[in-house]
Amino acid sequence: MTGLQDRLTPEQVEEFGREMDEIRQRLVADLGKEDVDYIQNLIKTQRALEVTGRGLLFAGFFPPAWMAGVAALSVAKILDNMEIGHNVMHGQYDWTRIPALSSQKFEWDNVAPAQNWRHSHNYIHHTYTNILDKDRDIGYGILRIDPAQKWHPYYLGNPAYASVLAFIFQWGVMLHDLEFDRIAKGERTWADTKEVGANMLRKAARQVGKDYVLFPLLTGPLAPLTLLGNATANMSRNLWAFAIIFCGHFPADVESFTEEETENETRGQWYLRQILGSANITGGKLFHIMSGNLSHQIEHHLFPDIPARRYPQIAEEIRASCAKYGLPYHAGPLHKQLFSVAKKLVKLALPWNGEPSDPKPTTLERDKDLAAA
């Protein structure tokens, strides 16, 4: 695979980094009331959909009401987790000092506790993006999604595991923080999981309590229908979040990196890695909102703490910058990206570890001796 260092000369990398920093500075200086109004309105919409959805399930004996209720609740959970929760918990609105928009205080409508998730996602995944053995989001410790991951007969079930994970994604995200794979390898002990484990139990109990006990009981004889409705809404959100997130880093042309090539990385190199390791999904405005603007995965990885509504505003500029430096800017429609991920999951179930279509160095050849040294 083409090394990270082979793409551009060191000067070019730093120049590119400066361009990214400038965009960042401009965005930060421009943050204001519009950004707050946007997220507050979105929260209003989400709460209204949630209340409507829950309300309609009280009339769940009437099939159209049940279906509309489930639809409203599904969209509410998707908005809560993605455009609101994921982004607020990234600290995108911490500058507002509004407690309800504070990354340290926000909890999402999801069994994964915010505190655990912030560590594994904001810190581990966003810092070590796509570095093998460092970024635990590469295959989530259960899938083989990169040819550089060593094959094991366990991976024969790759497509099956992925399909199951898609349906129970919120539980997968929650259990991810136990780092079960590392416990199995002896890198971590059960005792290390005590605090994250306790957080999980507490959070999961509350989530299960409302969706599968309290709201069903409130609807009396309709309890089974309500339970089914809530489960369907949770599942819809699971499938959607799985699809969006798997298209962010796993399509075929997205690259991964080794610890050696990312040692002592400069800021410019870090930016470069974020671009090469992420992929956007193309679509309309509503699609971007429903994806939490993770459809702008590249922009999100460059500036994870800038309000996501800003990503579409800078996408063209980032794309132009990439073109200028001969860097790829991965993007494709959802169906295409999903198909690419699915193909990869099936291929990598087998011992095959051939290089994916190896991207050639697209700019100046760097002194190979220097890279080898």
- Find tokens 């366990």 and name the residue: 154
Q: Which of residues 196-215 bind another protein (CB under 8 A)?
A: 203, 206-207, 209-210, 214-215
- Taking the complex as a whole, the smallest distance from the CB of residue 80 to another protein amounts, in Å, to 8
Q: Nearest distance from residue 245's CB to another protein, in Å?
A: 21
Size of interface with another protein, in residues (CB under 8 A): 34
CB 298 within 8 A of CB 42: no
**Quick one: 107 or 192, whose CB is closer to another protein?**
107
Only one of the segments 90-98, 147-155, 158-166, 230-238 lies at the binding site for another protein (rule: CB under 8 A); that segment is 90-98
Determine if 90 is a binding residue for another protein (CB under 8 A). Answer: no
State the nearest-atom distance from the C-beta of 251 to another protein, in Å: 30
Residue 265 found at the interface with another protein (CB under 8 A)? no
Which residue stretch of 35-43, 137-145, 152-160, 163-171 sits at the interface with another protein (rule: CB under 8 A)? 35-43
Query: 305-334: which residues touch another protein (CB under 8 A)?
Result: none
Among 11, 25, 26, 123, binds another protein (CB under 8 A): 123
Rounded CA gap, 199 and 176, in Å? 13
Count of beta carbons in the 10 Å neighbourhood of residue 349: 20
**Quick one: 216 or 251, whose CB is closer to another protein?**
216
**Near another protein by CB under 8 A: residue from 14, 21, 107, 265:** 107
Q: State which of residues 32, 55, 283, 326 lies at the interface with another protein (CB under 8 A).
A: 32
Q: Which range binds another protein by CB under 8 A, 33-41, 58-66, 275-283, 314-322? A: 33-41
- The verdict on 285 binding another protein (CB under 8 A) reads no
223 in contact with another protein (CB under 8 A): no
Among 18, 22, 26, 51, which residue interacts with another protein (rule: CB under 8 A)? 51
Which of 24, 47, 188, 366 is in the footprint of another protein by CB under 8 A? 47
Could you identify the residue written with the tokens 């509410």? 76
> Near another protein by CB under 8 A, which window of 44-52, 189-197, 317-325, 358-366?
44-52
Q: How many residues are given for the chain?
A: 373
Is residue 81 involved in binding another protein (CB under 8 A)? Answer: no
Q: Does 58 bind another protein (CB under 8 A)?
A: no
Check binding of 96 to another protein (CB under 8 A).
yes
Q: What is the SS3 assignment for the chain?
A: CCCHHHCCCHHHHHHHHHHHHHHHHHHHHHCCHHHHHHHHHHHHHHHHHHHHHHHHHHHCCCHHHHHHHHHHHHHHHHHHHHHHHHHHHCCCCHHHCCHHHCCCCCCCCCCCCHHHHHHHHHHHHHHCCCECCCCCCCHHHCCCCCCCCCCCHHHHHHHHHHHHHHHCHHHHHHHHCCCHHHHHCCCCCHHHHHHHHHHHHHHHHHHHHHHHHHHHHHCHHHHHHHHHHHHHHHHHHHHHHHHHHHHHHCCCCCCCECCHHHCCCCHHHHHHHHHHCCCEEECCHHHHHHCCCHHHHHHHHHCCCCCHHHHHHHHHHHHHHHHHCCCCCCEEEHHHHHHHHHHHHHHCCCCCCCCCCCCCCCCCCCCHHHHHC
- Would you say 99 or 354 has its CB closer to another protein? 99
What is the binding site for another protein (CB under 8 A)? 31-37, 43-44, 47-48, 51, 91, 94-100, 102, 104, 107-109, 123, 203, 206-207, 209-210, 214-215, 218
